[in-house]
Amino acid sequence: MASVAHAHDHPPAAHQSSRVDSRLLGIYFFIASEVMLFGSFFSAYFFARVVVGAEGGWPPEGFELPVYLALLNTIILVTSSFTMHWALQAVKRGNRSGLVAGLTLTFLLGLTFLLIQAREYTRLGFAPYDNAFGSTFYGLTGLHGAHVFVGLNLLLYALIRSLRGHFGPEPEKHLGVELPGIYWHFVDVMWIIVYVTVYVI
């Protein structure tokens, strides 16, 4: 009887599916909410483009965007996705030096992207309050830039932990790399959509 009573000292473990880790499921739901957030900004952009563009063209006369600089930024960010993948594969193989190198390169590439975008803002020649084009342009690119900043903080935290030897090849020991990686790939994909939408078409 004593052993039976002892078995009920603590509540039973919460039911959890063996297919998807709850933390992975959480990041997927979070990204789904972020997709909806970006969707609202894209809706505002296309609405302004249809209404304003029908009257005076889009972008308005005198407004020029640095398409080639944005293309360079796109190449930088896409490259960072490959270095992030390299880092994750390295930790899965127990290659700590590859993990550190991959995270470092990803962080530096992301930081370069953000600095180029900040420099672009200082040279555009228009402000968010000038017209609908300025508002939607800064809204979309600024929203993405904020996500890059968050991603850089996640990468830096993962890099510091990797330098301290916190990660390993076991699935439960490299989630701290996998979760920022999933977020970073999302940031990269969103930038490609932003680039094509704002700078190309």
Domain at 142, CATH number: 1.20.120.80
Asked, for residue 116, whether it belongs to a domain, the answer is yes
Q: What is the domain count for the chain?
A: 1
31 falls within a domain: yes
**Residue 150 is assigned to a structural domain of this protein:** yes
Higher model confidence: residue 189 or residue 7? 189
Report if pTM > 0.95.
no
Residue 4: inside a domain, yes or no? Answer: no
Exposed e or buried b per residue across 78-111, where buried means at least 16 C-beta atoms within 10 angstroms of its C-beta:
ebbbebbebbbebbbeebbebbbbbbbbbbebbb
Distance of CA 144 to the CA centre of its chain: 8
The pLDDT confidence band at residue 89, using thresholds 50, 70 and 90, is very high
Tell me, yes or no, whether 9 lies in a domain: no
Residue spans of alpha helices (H) in the chain: 2-7, 22-56, 67-92, 96-123, 132-163, 175-194
What pLDDT is attached to residue 168? 79
Q: How many CB atoms lie within 10 A of CB 155?
A: 26
The mean predicted confidence, pLDDT, of the chain is 87
Domain assignment of residue 14, yes or no: no
**Segment 30-76, tens digit of pLDDT:** 999 999 999 999 999 999 888 876 666 777 777 788 899 999 999 99
Decide if 179 contacts 133 (C-beta within 8 A).
no
Q: Which pLDDT score is estimated for 113?
A: 97
Q: In terms of residue numbers, what domain contains 113?
A: 21-200
What is the per-residue pLDDT for 17? Answer: 52
pLDDT score recorded for residue 53: 66
Distances (CA, A) of 180 to 13, 82, 83, 196: 27, 14, 13, 25
- 152 pLDDT exceeds 60? yes
Residue 48 has what pLDDT?
Answer: 87
Residue 5 lies inside a defined structural domain of this protein: no
